[in-house]
């Protein structure tokens, strides 16, 4: 994995820059709404017996007038997978369970039921292999076709810059991944999801990193526009009921099926950072 040290550092730096730009954009929306809410940042250190440099991360959380709860996490961790978990990870094995992972993860739950919640993450991992993964998906309690189309259009354009097959492949992957089997429903209206975008050599790393940066930039371009479109809409108790029930489905997916949740728990991540994806309130009828 040592051959990817510089590339891991470059990815980490970019993820932190993306975090800073996203948080500034979200705080600007709060100011427009007359709120002085801002992100509060908490650093955490990972612990692993016998590991002198296990890494850690920073959890940023804001609770405001528009963003009822939004978390933006950046982490860079190093270590070894537990033997029973190593075999489930690309390029890892019981014989060689070492890994390095760096990435950004974001989940926003909104106060107004007409404003869609959203999830986004991008990451770079190395085991005996090296790859990028990530994506974003829109999660409206009350869907609007205009928002869905605009969200997808942003990622369709980002994909088209790199590979004509990416959008069809990755939007279908999101449709299949963000599905709640025991409910028989989708978590939201989709987006894109990709994983194991392999870096066989430095040229492949540069291509995949460029694509991953465009995914992050596409999110930052499109989501604030959708938020601003909906924050002034009036809502009633029935709208809030729909939102809280939908949030229950969201929580079910993240606790039962989400790979990121499992990865964090299996690698000694910060519990508060891992579970920041859960909504502040939810209901089950």
Catalytically annotated residues: 119
Q: How far is CA 26 from CA 37, 64, 70, 201, in A?
A: 10, 10, 9, 36
Residue from 169, 183, 196, 179 nearest 257 by CA: 179
What letters, b where the CB count within 10 A reaches 16 and e where it falls short, cover 93-130?
A: eeeebbbbbbbbbbbbbbbbbbbbbbbbbbbbbbbeeb
Residue from 126, 79, 121, 65 nearest 273 by CA: 121
Classified as helix, coil or strand, 141 is coil
User: How are beta strands 179-180 and 55-62 bridged, if at all?
Assistant: unpaired
Q: Which two tokens stand for residue 109?
A: 């739950």
Which residues have C-beta within 8 Å of that of residue 113, sequence separation ≥ 6? 141, 142, 235, 239, 240, 242, 243
Measured between its terminal Cα atoms, the distance across the chain in Å is 49
Contact 209, 108 (CB under 8 A): no
User: Whole-angstrom Cα distance, residue 283 to residue 31?
Assistant: 30
């Amino acid at each position: 994995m040592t051959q990817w040290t510089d590339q891991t550092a470059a990815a980490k730096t970019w993820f932190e820059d993306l975090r800073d730009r996203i948080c500034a954009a979200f705080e600007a929306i709060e100011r427009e709404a007359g709120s002085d809410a801002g992100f509060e940042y908490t650093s955490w250190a990972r612990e692993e017996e016998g590991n002198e440099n296990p890494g850690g991360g920073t959890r940023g959380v804001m609770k405001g007038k528009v963003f009822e709860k939004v978390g933006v996490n950046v982490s860079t961790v190093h270590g070894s997978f537990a033997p029973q978990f190593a075999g489930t990870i690309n390029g890892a094995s019981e014989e060689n369970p070492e890994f390095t992972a760096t990435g950004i993860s974001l989940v926003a739950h909104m106060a107004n039921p007409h404003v869609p919640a959203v999830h986004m993450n991008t990451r770079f991992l190395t085991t005996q292999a090296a790859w990028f993964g990530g994506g974003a998906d829109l999660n409206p309690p009350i869907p609007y076709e205009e928002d869905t189309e605009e969200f997808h259009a942003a990622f369709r354009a980002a994909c088209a810059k790199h590979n004509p097959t990416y959008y069809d492949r990755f939007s279908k992957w999101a449709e299949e991944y963000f599905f709640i089997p025991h409910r028989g429903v989708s978590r939201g209206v989709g987006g894109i999801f990709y994983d194991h975008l392999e870096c066989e050599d430095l040229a492949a790393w540069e291509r995949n990193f460029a694509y991953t940066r465009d995914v992050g930039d596409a999110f930052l371009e499109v989501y604030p526009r959708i938020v601003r479109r909906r924050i002034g809409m009036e809502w009633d108790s029935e709208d809030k009921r729909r939102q809280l029930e939908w949030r229950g489905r969201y929580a079910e997916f993240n606790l039962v099926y989400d790979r990121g949740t499992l990865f964090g728990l299996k690698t000694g991540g910060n519990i508060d950072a891992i579970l920041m994806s859960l909504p502040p309130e939810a209901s089950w009828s």
